[in-house]
Structure 1
Amino acid sequence: MLEIFPIYITSFEQERLIRVYLPKNYNKQNQSYPVLYMHDGQNVFQDNDAIGGTSLELENYLDENGLEVIVVGIDQNSEERINEYCPWINGEYSKKILGQASSAGGKGIQYVDFIVNELKPFIDNKYRTLKDRTAMAGISLGGLISTYAMCRYPQVFKSIAVLSSAFYRNQEEIEKLIQDTDLSLIEMFYLDCGTKEAGKEDMISNEFLASNKAVFTILREKLPNAKFETIKDAEHNYYFFKKRVPEIVSYLMSVK
């Protein structure tokens, strides 16, 4: 069951649609549930709402498998997506993939603070949640901002899963942040990356994969149970993303 409603983001001075999945038995029993926050909310649950027409089809998967989790999808603002999902202005490494300098990014701090200080309290008040069992997952730039959220609020987001993360836009800064952050509260971190993220552009695909491996190298020193998967021939689109998400969501929710 999906509930969809707008929430006002104070720092951006605008409303944003929030999509909340509730387990099938939510209204039949009085129990509380862990919560998974996801970005690019239009693309999380149903194809008819998805940008490009292909979603992760997560609603069907959760219903069919009876997973007892509340999932909160935060719609993207397409015009501001890069700015909101990048905590910093795009760095030097990004030139390798973009082919040029970019001044995009820098609003990720406000976006994550909105989730923690405005959205999460609203969700915890409106629904029966396990307040200390909060996970986050994201794809591409959603992976970057999820990793940043973990570092900024490790006491909140203790389980993280990221797919084909676009770390490259803030490569230098996210690596340093991970190195400098106490991650002792983090219970699990999953990341993966395809070998053909850029399709036939082998150079870009190789740089993209190298970017993800560099982040994992730092993570595994701090999180021995961090897991990295290289997905052979997977490209950077939802056809490939949705194949991986069900297993990852189940894995995230297995943490007690």
Structure 2
Amino acid sequence: MKAYILTLLLSVSSLHLLWSQPFLGQTKNIQSESLASDQQIHVYLPDNYEKGDKKYPVLYILDGQWFYLNGIAIQKTLRGENVLPEMIIVGVDMKSRQVHDSILNNKWDEYASFIKKELVSYVDQTYRTNQDRVLFGWENNAFLASELIIRESSPFTGAIVSNGGSMDEKMVESFNKYSNDQKPKYLFMANSDKDIYTVRYSNNFAKDLTEQNFANLTWEYRKFNEETHESLPYLSMYHGLRFYYHNYGSIVYASIDDFHQKGGIPYLREYFRQRGERFDQDTEIDNSTKNTLIWMAWKEDNFSSFDLFMKEFADVLDTKRYASAYWQNRLAQFYLKYGDVVNAITYFNRGIQKYPDPKYLAKMHAGLGEAYRSKGDRKLAVKNLKMAVSCATQNNDPKLADYESLLKKK
């Protein structure tokens, strides 16, 4: 029993130390005139924050004493920025359930003013921030987050409203008054039919939003009916961020059919145009997407789409990725398989001349011989098949017999 208690104490001690480590952020006290008291916040800075002068979006988490670590976990478990960008995370500590309920019941307007004016101003002045600000609120704070994204001129461009939320006539009037002067806003709402305490508020909120049809607000309401009142916040935060940043990363297709069903090349160009303009990125289709589509068409044995991508994305073929005998041979062999001997000859010759890798020389010469045979040029066909046999002999190629057989047929 003593050993068990000691282990437990060490675990608690380790957790306390973990909280104080730099990667979990800084703790700050802000003097709030609105609330006439100090307010404690926790601030997490991205891993690369100190390595440059980049400006970052900010995720503001109400009830940070409960959910601040959720925001950090989402950041820490992502690999790369193709799903979500690195973010500054600010957790607003409401200290205890009693303080939480007291503030929201008795000082609603004051607390809203603190969040909207004092807190955002402090963070912008203290850290390198851009104009993307997402606010997360659960339960009581879901109603506050609803108000802060819709009512009055708001500094927030997005809100994640979990297990609650509502809208009244004053909020509608306010949004209509200010919406034309602000960036487009995004609202993600989440609840569960198992949350018998708040789901009716969320349902009514979604109904009201549908009826209003705000032009400058993009919103979504999702039910996670496997979750309960207490278990939903982590999921809603993650999915809310995915919703807000739905077009942040490169577009990913499930298949070539998926590519065509979503609108093909015109849709792809428009996606990157909108993405670039919204997040100040390049508006051209990125090389990663071009490479993936070429590879996917080859993998699915879809020559018509492969040929389309090779023509549309010709610029990517001169990049480092394709600077190898492996890639030149792969492209050439696919062209040869579908009878496009002109392109097959082009890529076989490029591979032989620019990337004379012994591992692929026999394959490329054999393919080139087959391409010339199809073209009716017997002389060049024989020449290259002899080269294939020679290279295979020198490198103990297990396909030597195959190349010799091809040569005999000529």
TMscore range, shorter length: 0.7 to 0.9
Aligned twin of 2:115:
115
- Aligned partner letter, 1:138: G
1:212 aligns with 2:235: no
Q: Residues 146-157 of structure 1: matches in 2 within 5 Å? A: 146-157=145-156
CA distance in 1, matches of 2:226, 2:193: 5
TM-score (normalizing by structure 1): 0.74
- Aligned partner letter, 1:216: A
CA distance in 1, matches of 2:223, 2:169: 23
Report the Cα offset of residue 40 of structure 1: 0.3
Aligned twin of 1:50:
none
CA contact (8 A) 1:35 1:72 kept: yes
Match of 2:87 among 61, 66, 69: 69
Aligned twin of 1:193:
191
Match of 2:236, SS state, is helix
Aligned twin of 1:124:
124
With CA pairs under 8 Å and 6+ residues apart, which has the higher RCO, 1 or 2? 1
Report the Cα offset of residue 72 of structure 1: 1.1
Identity %: 20
- Aligned partner letter, 2:63: D
Deviation track 1:152-211 (CA, whole Å, cap 9, x = no partner) reads 44441121111111x4xxx6xx422333222534421110111111xxxxxxx1x63222
CA distance in 2, matches of 1:14, 1:21: 23
Deviation track 1:44-75 (CA, whole Å, cap 9, x = no partner) reads 233xxxxxxxxx3x212202215311111111
Aligned twin of 2:100:
81
Match of 1:45, SS state, is helix
CA contact (8 A) 2:58 2:88 kept: yes
- Aligned partner letter, 1:145: L
CA distance in 1, matches of 2:159, 2:112: 14
* Runs of 5+ consecutive residues of structure 2 not aligned to the other structure: 1-22, 249-277, 279-410
Are residues 244 and 212 of structure 1, via their aligned partners in 2, closer, same or farther at CA, if it must alter by over 3 Å? closer
Are residues 190 and 13 of structure 1, via their aligned partners in 2, closer, same or farther at CA, if it must alter by over 3 Å? same
Q: Which moved more, 1:36-45 or 1:241-250?
A: 241-250
Deviation track 1:88-117 (CA, whole Å, cap 9, x = no partner) reads xxxxxxxxxxxxxxxxx2412111111232
Q: Which moved more, 1:105-114 or 1:120-129?
A: 105-114
CA distance in 2, matches of 1:153, 1:31: 30
Q: Residues 1-256 of structure 1: matches in 2 within 5 Å? A: 1=23, 2-46=25-69, 56=70, 58-65=71-78, 66=80, 67-78=85-96, 79-85=98-104, 105-130=105-130, 132-165=131-164, 167=165, 174-183=167-176, 184=179, 185=182, 186-197=184-195, 205=196, 208-220=198-210, 221-223=212-214, 225-237=218-230, 239-254=231-246, 256=278
CA contact (8 A) 2:34 2:113 kept: no
Are residues 10 and 155 of structure 1, via their aligned partners in 2, closer, same or farther at CA, if it must alter by over 3 Å? closer
Match of 1:34, SS state, is strand
Structure with more strand by fraction: 1
Aligned twin of 1:94:
none
CA distance in 2, matches of 1:159, 1:75: 20
Q: Which moved more, 1:187-196 or 1:5-14?
A: 5-14
* Runs of 5+ consecutive residues of structure 1 not aligned to the other structure: 47-55, 86-104, 198-204
Structure with more helix by fraction: 2
Are residues 23 and 153 of structure 1, via their aligned partners in 2, closer, same or farther at CA, if it must alter by over 3 Å? farther
CA distance in 1, matches of 2:95, 2:65: 10
CA distance in 2, matches of 1:230, 1:36: 22
Report the Cα offset of residue 241 of structure 1: 2.2
CA contact (8 A) 1:159 1:252 kept: yes
CA distance in 1, matches of 2:190, 2:153: 21
